[in-house]
Structure 1
């Protein structure tokens, strides 16, 4: 009888360990002070215009053991900032982002690539102007650390891609203002 109880206890312990090993998904909320979506576009082949979106929010789920995850980020398009107010206003107009009609953009992903426990790529969709197109981001410097201020784990990295704005219907100024827009995303998210 004692042997049967010991075996039952060992089985229960192993079952509990297996359940905890499988339940590795962690949820993170974007840290707005360390997350920026920056863009670059050539200006008539002469110089590079740059700007960023200052307001964004979202959640990231990652299971580093299973190498899976989900991302859902919303960007406030009216928060575009180039440092030049008249240029910002033009970008917010119908010529470019038409923020009165399309106030947000949304990135969603369920395909993450890993090298060990580090995220090296993200496949998802970007919705702007009511159109959804596939987007693939290349990641670098992915890292997780214990943040001394939040007293929680923070994960993040740098991600980038180049999109063709015409795929979403943004054609103003083509070809003088190129179709290709480089997106650079600096992201850090706090474990919940």
Structure 2
């Protein structure tokens, strides 16, 4: 996919007028621009923006707003969800449709003060796979970033009356890794990387929740991959609880991120380079965009 920055221009002699855009559109691409402001209407620099394709749940692009609070990009035609997050403020989510050859008018997004979100009801919450995505980004050695995801997984959250005592478990089918390139995917499944025949699952089990203020938490736990277990911390933003879905289930949502180092899991990228094997870089950015459905106090939390 082709991405590009848009150039922003303010008309000379105009006071308080909204910006206009000169957009160098790639072939078969459209464009959008966000102006992100704080609760007082001031430009919000450094806000994190993540754009996700609604059909595949893959991250299309991400970045931060510039010093003037702007984020701009070009995208292939399609429907997207745009999540904007800043410390101490409530996340904002916008949906947009991109059409080839069209630059959408700039949209102003106001981030409101973070409210104290009601924590999930105590009991068992099960991941909803159609509305949950486990994604990763890795830098291909000497080339662009590789975006991928795992398509088969199960997991759940056992919410305790005291949230700090809650428990999360996730089991990922390692062979379900996909990056949109069959040759690369088969290589990632091979003994050079995940070795899915010997190690068919990637497991995460939490040890504790640590509250960082507002809707921010750090989820500490153990990640087991390629036969090796390591302690990791997931930077987590709790997005709240709603009644929704086809049967009006009670649902909660969260976004969690972590940086993994491949050598921690005996995935030795240097030895692969020495053998002339094209690989991704030594660090991988992992992201979980989770919706979970409330079941009962007695529903088991997979995997056991």
1:163 paired to 2:260:
yes
Looking at structure 1, the residues matched to 216 and 125 of structure 2 have their Cα atoms a distance apart, in angstroms, of: 14
Rate the CA distance shift 1:70–1:34 in 2: closer, same or farther, 3 A. same
Cα shift at 1:26: 1.6
Looking at structure 2, the residues matched to 74 and 144 of structure 1 have their Cα atoms a distance apart, in angstroms, of: 23
Number of the residue aligned with 1:132: 229
Cα shift at 1:31: 0.4
1:34 paired to 2:131:
yes
Give unmatched runs, 5+ long, in structure 1.
1-23
Number of aligned residue pairs: 169
1:1-20 correspondence runs (5 A): none
Looking at structure 2, the residues matched to 148 and 34 of structure 1 have their Cα atoms a distance apart, in angstroms, of: 10
Number of the residue aligned with 2:172: 75
Rate the CA distance shift 1:185–1:148 in 2: closer, same or farther, 3 A. closer
Q: Matched residue of 2:198: which SS?
A: coil
- Give yes or no for contact 2:163–2:209 (8 Å, CA) kept in 1: no
Q: Matched residue of 1:90: which SS?
A: helix
Kindly indicate whether structure 1 or structure 2 has the higher relative contact order, using CA contacts under 8 Å at least 6 residues apart.
Answer: 1
Cα shift at 1:43: 1.3
Looking at structure 2, the residues matched to 150 and 120 of structure 1 have their Cα atoms a distance apart, in angstroms, of: 29
Rate the CA distance shift 1:157–1:115 in 2: closer, same or farther, 3 A. same
1:72-96 deviation per Cα after TM superposition (whole angstroms, max 9, x unaligned): 1100000011111111111100111
TM-score (norm 2): 0.52
Cα shift at 1:165: 1.1
Cα shift at 1:174: 5.5
Number of the residue aligned with 2:286: 183
Looking at structure 1, the residues matched to 280 and 181 of structure 2 have their Cα atoms a distance apart, in angstroms, of: 18
TM-score (norm 1): 0.80
